Amino acid sequence: MSSWRSWHLPLVVFALAMIVLAVASGVGLLVDDRQLVGSPIWSKPAKFSLSFVAYGLSLAWMLSLLPTNRARRVGWWAGAVVAVTGVVEMVIITAQVVRGKRSHFNHETPFDEALFSAMAVTAVILWFATLVIAVLLLRTSFGDRASAWAMRSGTVLALAGAAIGFLMTQPAPGQRRGVSKVVGAHSVGVPDGGPAMPLTGWSTTGGDLRVPHFFGMHALQLIPLVLMGLVVALASRVPRLRAERVRLRLVLVVSAAYAAVFALLTWQALRGQSLVRPDGATLTVAGLILVGAVTGALLTLRKAGSERTATSPPWEEGDRLEPSPQGGGRPFVSLRRR
């Protein structure tokens, strides 16, 4: 585990700036009662800034783990690009809030259109910079394979989640490029600004592409957190989880299940179906994913148990291992019982 002092500095500074913006947006939510597209006007910068805090700190940590000078140099520049483009995007979002205007999909005036085009360009650049980081992680050999694949899977799924944003820019029914004041939408099958879930603002009457967008992007944090839970919280209580190969298999099971749920959420949104109103097909697929994930985890643990039994050391469960008096770090069996 690397020291936080070695984390990517521009991304750390960016994350700290986003914390400040999140606090300012929280104040805005309290004192500014303006509404925009059916939601409090300060909700967008609040949600974006909090999301960027997690995104920036995750990448800052991962970049600190790159082992070679060349990879670190490339990673530093890629991380700096993520930080700069993130700042540009948040400046535009916040400026439009101050003006009382939409930041996304806004073609009302040439100035609004230019701002949205700038956001689109920064989003593309940020995506490719994250892709560079993903390639670096895929090409790097880490000491712990479970940790390596947790980071790799999380980064690839985050890229897939971010790519959902490009689907949102497509004209919705009744919209025409060069004619409509708004081109693009978060919702599918219903207009933006209708009945929505609290806090998230996701539609309760139609599909919403923000659901898979959010779920995919935050694989960058959630999959490594699952691994940390296995190592920190459970390994001391479940001896089978102490083996690296067991943790690796479980990380792969979790990653596959996460990818399947991401695909399901995307399919559900594109069919114009709300997250809170799944139909039979959605529930059936969700059930199959759950059964597959649980089965994969149980088979992994069962196989680990059989492997552990087959290779059990010649001492009993109650024996205590102590450092060998001959040195070398090898354990020997103490004759004393616990």
Could you tell me the residue ranges of all domains in the chain? Answer: 4-223
Segment 245-276, tens digit of pLDDT:
888 999 999 999 999 999 999 999 999 999 99
Mean pLDDT of the chain: 87
pLDDT of residue 180: 87
Q: Which residues contact 131 (CB under 8 A, 6 or more apart)?
A: 159
Segment 213-249, tens digit of pLDDT:
999 999 999 998 888 887 777 777 777 777 888 889 9
Q: Following CA atoms 133, 217, 47, 193 in sequence, which dihedral angle do they give, to the nearest 10 degrees?
A: 130
pLDDT of residue 305: 64
pLDDT of residue 179: 85
Per 3-state DSSP, the chain is made up of helix, strand and coil in percentages (nearest 5) of: 65, 5, 30
Segment 133-181, tens digit of pLDDT:
999 988 888 778 888 899 999 999 999 999 999 999 999 888 888 888 9
pLDDT of residue 145: 87
Looking at mean pLDDT, say which of 22-26, 36-40, 104-108 comes out highest: 22-26
User: pTM here?
Assistant: 0.84
The strand pairing partners of 106, in sequence order, are 182
The CA distance from 183 to 173, in Å, is 10
Confidence band for 116, pLDDT divided at 50, 70 and 90: very high
- CB of 45 closer than 8 Å to CB of 90: yes
The CA distance from 167 to 159, in Å, is 14
Both tokens of residue 72? 């670190």
The CA distance from 66 to 80, in Å, is 15
The CA distance from 208 to 165, in Å, is 11
- CB of 272 closer than 8 Å to CB of 188: yes
